[in-house]
Amino acid sequence: MILEVRDLSVRLGGSHILQGVTFDVPPAGVTALLGRNGVGKTTTLRAILGEVPATGAVEFGGEPVLGRATHKIVRSGLGYVPEDRCVFGGLTVAENLRLAVRGADPDYDTVHELFPELRARAGQRAGTLSGGQQQMVAIARVLLNRNRLLLVDEPTKGLAPAVVSAVAAVLGRVAEQVPILLVEQNLAVVRRLAAGAVVLEAGRVAWTGAASDLLGDAGRTRTLLGVGRS
Amino acid sequence: MTRLTKMLPLVVLAVLILLPYSTVGLPGVFEGSLNSPGTLQMLAICLVFGGLALGYDLLFGRAGLLSFGHALYIAAGAYGTDILVSHAHWPLWAAVAATVPAVAVLAALLGAVALRTTGIAFAMVTLAFAQVGWIVVNRDPGGLTGGEEGLPLDSAGLPASLVGVANTVNLYWVALAFLLVVVVVVHGIDRAPLGRVLTGLRDDERRVSVLGLSAYRLKLGTFVLAGALAALGGAVHALIVGGASPHLASADLTLSLIVMAVLGGAGTRWGAVVGGVVYAYLDQRLTQVGGALPGPLSQPLFILGTLFVLAVYFAPGGLTGVLKRRGRFA
Amino acid sequence: MSTVILLTLTGLGLAALYFLIASGLSLVFGLAGVLNFAHGLFLSVGAYATWWAAPRWGLAVAVPLGIAAGAATGALVEVVLIRPLYKRPTEQVLVTVGLSLAGVALLQSVWGADPRTYPRPAWAAQVTTIGSAQVPDDRFLLIGTAVAVLLALLLFLHKTRYGLVIRAGVENRDMVSALGIDVRRAFTLVFAIGGALAGTAGVLGGMYFGSVSPGQGASLLIFAFIVVVIGGLGSVTGSAVAAVVVGLLQQFVNYYGAAGAGDVSVVALLALVLLLRPSGLARTAVTA
């Protein structure tokens, strides 16, 4: 297991957002982290990254990381594609990418192969890009470095259907190289990419198993995710 | 324990009321006996600052508004009263009765602009507004404010019972009355549903907006009330020290109010009062004995500033927080 | 005409001081989220260090020493006092408030409350004739330094890795950490830069006013705050533009209007800016 989360709990401003979350992420393929809005998916990712104070244990590649500074956890090989992309709007595309480079040997080849558009727009301010283009920048940032795991939070949120499919295709190719823990609302994307699934409900893990077992069972999908159609 | 805690403020009040009848001397703490004019004036100033600090804490500790311009309203109260009494020869009560509502209007106007911002921007804007007050007071427009010298209060316009060293005790009563007024108002708000809404505002503005209340209007109302209390305190201060001085309008005064609230325990029932009294006492006492102390210790602000920084780190709940913890473990 | 030239150059000289203070404040606030009331102390430390050293070793040594003293004070304050309170912005402000009170009192206890005559190079005391105006040369010293500082800052922010980190951090510092960058090291850096610029302003201010006193930093600081808010929190170029507007407005209104009207008009300008784009300002304040 590349990531082992044990009894992870988070309290923010008096509310108990995570109440002992436990799950594993295998060292290959896409694992989906699912659940209705507000069950703590994003908080789980941020707790793993050390962005919110948490208790419990998180082992990344066999090493405990909980309590360490965010930048150190990231440097140990954890790439993060946040919700809402969080590209730096005032910086150019090239600057956004340069900022993300951690090692001496950034993999610009992969980035330019997957996103030829970013090369053409290198001098453009990221704030003036479309949502899909910003998502490319956000994904490109984690591809420049050699990561052992990617945390990807709602990469298709707010994107046009054609762009959703393009992003899913890119994530599929990326997942051949590096495992991904994916938070995603679009079940078609989950079905296409994910092997395993972890479902959160009210700050706890409600279900763990193969993604196909979850999505193949309409009743289960409805109870756990609150969606009728698959 | 709880009954004692409830009784304690009444006991303190009784002691404060009886204090001017005591001829006891506390060497080292006060220079004269308790009922000497010097000590009574010093105590009166402490009480006024207790009230001013609690009034400020209505904004800072309760509504979570970090205003850096509170001195403006205190100075407006002091100068407004002083100018009406000394230049326009109004009777004292009329001067105060006209000044306090006028300052409330001023607070409403400036607050309406400043509250369009939040957080740090709000702090900067209130600071800038107050700075105008400081500049105006120092420039002495039309000879009204007396410039850097300040404006002495013309005793001809005052009731005879408030004039002269022998009547210092009456000034002490006035100061105590002011503190009581502020305590009654602020604690009244604390107990009313409004108090919970205010702290809700401080913790999470969205929650209050969800309740269908206008956060902006609530904050503005609080700002105006705090401004009126400050004006009243400014008037009382002018009465006790016999005039208004530019120091009342300075940014340093607001900063010291913040220090008082935090030192005592911001947002708690008695914290700001305790902080204000202790700060004002130390400020005056250290100035009296300062000459005898070596180096930076001769500067009251050095000691108070350092104490404050230490308090922020090591006593986040302020003095009352420390006492409470002591009480629980003792 | 000569009055206009003189007022313009004097206003720009003042703007130079405001810019030197405001750009540091703006960067510190933009990146680290700290409203730094101790910034005036950095200024005073720089001013007094040069004042103290000049008669001993001459201005050529004393001026860099003053700037270095400002930078060192800034870095020290960040590491010792601000860093432990990371993510507690109100406490950070409170600490800088306490520090500004205690620091000014400390300076006062060492060098007294009265203004001290400030040393300046002989040529800065001369005047240059422009058209029909006799302009004191210290104005050019101030303006020249500020322009050089502005260019150097922009170069630093746009051409270096640290500059990139700072610009990104002003937008979203959590995301900078999430890219594996130790953003707190950049905090120390901006405090040091802010301290150095404040120290420079202290030295130049001393030369411009001809004297130095412990409270000098605090009174300049308030106008610098106004410049920061008008210029946009976190923006160096914004600070430069706002400083020029504020400096010129203040000088001209003070000359042609009533005494003190210039200072009041600056605050009126601030109110106007807030009324016209309150959300713009709030947004800057929140995202920075």
Does residue A42 sit in the same domain as residue A68? yes
pLDDT for B297: 75
Residue A167 lies in domain: 3-77+147-225
Tokens at B162, concatenated: 């408030």
Does any domain span residue B283?
A: no
Dihedral of the alpha carbons of B252, B257, B259, B264, in degrees to the nearest 10:
160
Is the separation of the CB atoms in B307 and B318 below 8 Å? Answer: no
**Within a domain: B201:** yes
Q: Quick one: A8 and A96 in the same domain?
A: no
pLDDT at C287: 32
Please tell me the total count of domains within chain B. 1
- Interface A:C, Cβ pairs < 8 A: 54
Residue B315 covered by a domain: no
Tokens of A21: 């979350």
CA-based nearest residue to B300, from B291, B290, B315: B290
> Could you tell me the residue range of the domain that residue B237 belongs to?
37-250
CA distance A112 to A195: 27
Rounded Cα distance, A99 and B316, in Å = 38
Question: pLDDT tens-digit profile of A147-191?
Answer: 999 999 999 988 888 889 999 999 999 999 999 999 998 889 999
For residues C147-164, average pLDDT? 94
Residues contacting B146, CB < 8 A, separation 6+: B140, B152, B244
How far away is chain A from the Cα of C267, in angstroms, using its nearest Cα?
Answer: 29
> In terms of domains, do A50 and A115 share one?
no
Q: How far apart are CA C18 and CA C90, in angstroms?
A: 25
B262 located within any domain: no
Amino acid at C72: A
Q: Decide if A230 is inside a domain.
A: no
What are the E-state strand segments in chain C?
Answer: 116-117, 127-130, 133-136, 211-212
- Report the pLDDT averaged over residues B248-253: 87
Q: Counting runs of H as helices and runs of E as strands, what totals does chain B give?
A: 13, 2
- Mean of the pLDDT values across residues A5-11? 92
Q: Is residue B183 part of a domain?
A: yes
My answer on whether A140 and A159 are in the same domain is no
Q: How far apart are CA B84 and CA B91, in angstroms?
A: 8
- State the average pLDDT for chain C: 87
Q: Check CB contact of C7 with chain A, cutoff 8 Å.
A: no
Mark yes or no for CB contact B304/C285 under 8 Å: no
Report the amino acid identity of residue C101: L
DSSP one-letter string for B55-73:
HHHIIIIIS----S-THHH
Q: Evaluate whether residue B309 is within a structural domain.
A: no
Which residue, of A127, A145, A163, is where some domain finishes? A145
pLDDT tier at A81, thresholds 50, 70, 90: very high
Nearest by CB to B299, which of C90, C109, C233? C109
Q: Tell me which chains share at least 3 CB pairs under 8 Å with chain C.
A: A, B
pLDDT per residue over A88-116, tens digit each? 998 999 999 999 998 888 989 989 998 99
Q: Does A124 share its domain with A164?
A: no
Average pLDDT, chain B: 83
Write the ipTM: 0.90
Inter-chain residue contact A71 with C183, CB threshold 8 Å: yes
Predicted pLDDT at A229? 46
Does residue B268 lie within any of the structural domains? no
Q: By CB neighbour count within 10 A (0-12 exposed, 13-18 middle, 19+ buried), where does C279 fall? A: exposed
d(CA C104, CA C41): 7
Is B92 in contact with B162 (CB distance < 8 Å)?
yes
How confident is the model over B78-110, as pLDDT tens digits?
999 999 998 888 998 999 999 999 999 999 999
Beta strand A63-64 pairing with A149-153: unpaired
pLDDT at residue A144 is higher than 50: yes
Q: Which of A138-142, B111-115, B207-211, B317-321 has the lowest mean pLDDT?
A: B207-211
Q: Calculate the CA dihedral of residues B219, B222, B226, B228 and round it to 10 degrees.
A: 110
Is residue B236 included in any domain, yes or no? yes
Calpha distance B82→C245 (Å, rounded): 37
Same domain, A158 and A92: no
Of A51, A95, A141, the CB nearest to C179: A141
Domains of chain C with CATH codes? 2-287 (1.10.3470)
Do residues A214 and A152 share a domain?
yes
Q: What is the pLDDT of residues B44-76, one digit of tens each?
A: 999 999 999 999 999 988 888 889 999 999 999
* Residue B3 confidence (pLDDT): 66
Q: Do A11 and A93 sit in the same domain of this protein?
A: no
Predicted confidence (pLDDT) per residue in B124-147, tens digit: 889 888 888 888 888 887 788 888
Q: Which two tokens stand for residue B11?
A: 């006991």
pLDDT greater than 90 at residue C279: no
